[in-house]
Amino acid sequence: MDYPSTNQNFLSLQNVGIQFNGVDILRNITFDIPKGQTLVVIGESGCGKTVLLKLLISLLQPSSGKVLFDGQDWCTLDGKRTNEQRLRFGFLFQGAALFDSLTVFDNVAFGLRAHSICDEKEIEKLVLMRVKEVGMKESVLGKKPAELSGGMKKRIGLARALILNPEVMLYDEPTTGLDPIMTDVINELILQTRKNMPVTSIVVTHEMRTVQKVADRVIMFSPLPRLKPNEPQMIFDGTTEELFKAPDIRVQQFIHGEAKERTQESDNHLITEEPK
C-alpha cells in the first residue's frame, strides 16, 4: 500500500524525554529527519541510541515531548492506525532476532503471512527476490538460524525487514560482532537498499567505518550522567566531514577511541573512594 508523505520532515522529535524507573535516558531531544536521509546515530553505550529507535517506531512512548511520523503524533493514533503506520517501517535488530524454530524462508516470509498481504505463490517469489538481493543463495532457504553465521543472520534479518517495502529502515548496530569484511558487506547492503528503494534510514552504530560509508548526517548523544543538568544531550549534529573536524573533545575521543582521560577519571575515583 502506498502512503503519500504529507511532511517534508518525515520524522520529528520535539523536546522528547524518556525515563525508566524515574531515571532519565533521553532529555529534551529535538531534531527532524527529512525524507530520504540516512542518519547515523553514535554515542557511548547507555546514551539512549536504541531507545531512540523504539521511540521512532512507537514501541516506546516518550515521558515528555512528541514523536511525529509523517506529520502525525504517534500518541494521538489508536491501536489500529499505529499498527498500519508501523508497516511502513523495517527494523534490523542488533542480533537479527530471527525465529529459531523457523527456516530462513519462513523467517523472511513472516511479515507477508502475518498481514495476509499476498498468496503463497507470490510470497515464494518475493522471498527469493529479497534473499538474492542481500547476497544469499536459494540453498539457504531451508536452513534454520542455528546453521547460519553471524553475517548470514544479519543479511537474512535485512531481507525480512525489506520484504514489506518499508519507507523507513531502522538499523540497530547492524555490524556488531562481524569481521571487517562482513562489516563492509552490511554497509554495502545499506547503501544498496537506499539506491534501490526511496527509503529513509536511521542507523545506530559504534563502527566508524559504517559512519564514513553510509551517513548523510551524523548525530551524537552523550550519556546523561556525564552531563550537567542543563547541558544538551545531543553534542553533535552534522556531516561526516564535520564530525571528524568537530572541536568538542568528547566527539574526538569517541571517534578515535581514546580512553586516556576516562582512565584518569577512574583512577581519581578509586583514590577518592580509598578507605581513610
Sequence-distant (6+) residues with CB within 8 A of 104 are 98, 131, 136, 140, 141, 142, 143, 144, 145, 148, 156
Domain extent listing, the chain: 9-88+205-271
Reduce the DSSP state of residue 96 to 3 states and report it: coil
The parts of the chain modelled with pLDDT lower than 50 are: 1-7, 266-276
The helix or strand, by DSSP H or E, that contains position 131, with its residue range, turns out to be: helix 120-133
The predicted-structure confidence for 71-121, as pLDDT tens digits, reads as follows: 999 999 998 999 999 999 999 988 778 999 999 999 999 988 988 888 899
The CATH architecture that domain 9-88+205-271 belongs to is: 3-Layer(aba) Sandwich (3.40)
Reduce the DSSP state of residue 27 to 3 states and report it: strand
Report the relative pairing of strands 38-43 and 200-204 from DSSP bridges: parallel
Dig out the grid coordinates for 238 from the structure: 552534522
What pLDDT score was predicted for residue 2? 39
Q: Which residues does residue 42 pair with via DSSP β-bridges, in sequence order?
A: 220
SS (H, E, C) 23-89: EEEEEEEEEEEECCCEEEEEECCCCCHHHHHHHHCCCCCCCEEEEEECCEEHHHCCHHHHHHHHCCE
Which letter does DSSP use for residue 106 in this model? H
What pLDDT score was predicted for residue 117? 81
Question: Is the separation of the CB atoms in 204 and 127 below 8 Å?
Answer: no
The distance of Cα 206 from the centroid of its chain, to the nearest Å, equals 11
Q: Which residues does residue 221 pair with via DSSP β-bridges, in sequence order?
A: 43, 234
What pLDDT score was predicted for residue 95? 74
Q: How far apart are CA 86 and CA 66, in angstroms?
A: 17
Listed in order, strand segments (DSSP E) in 72-230 are 72-73, 89-92, 168-172, 200-204, 217-221
The helix or strand, by DSSP H or E, that contains position 83, with its residue range, turns out to be: helix 79-86
Question: Is the separation of the CB atoms in 76 and 113 below 8 Å?
Answer: no
What pLDDT score was predicted for residue 265? 56
pTM summary value: 0.87
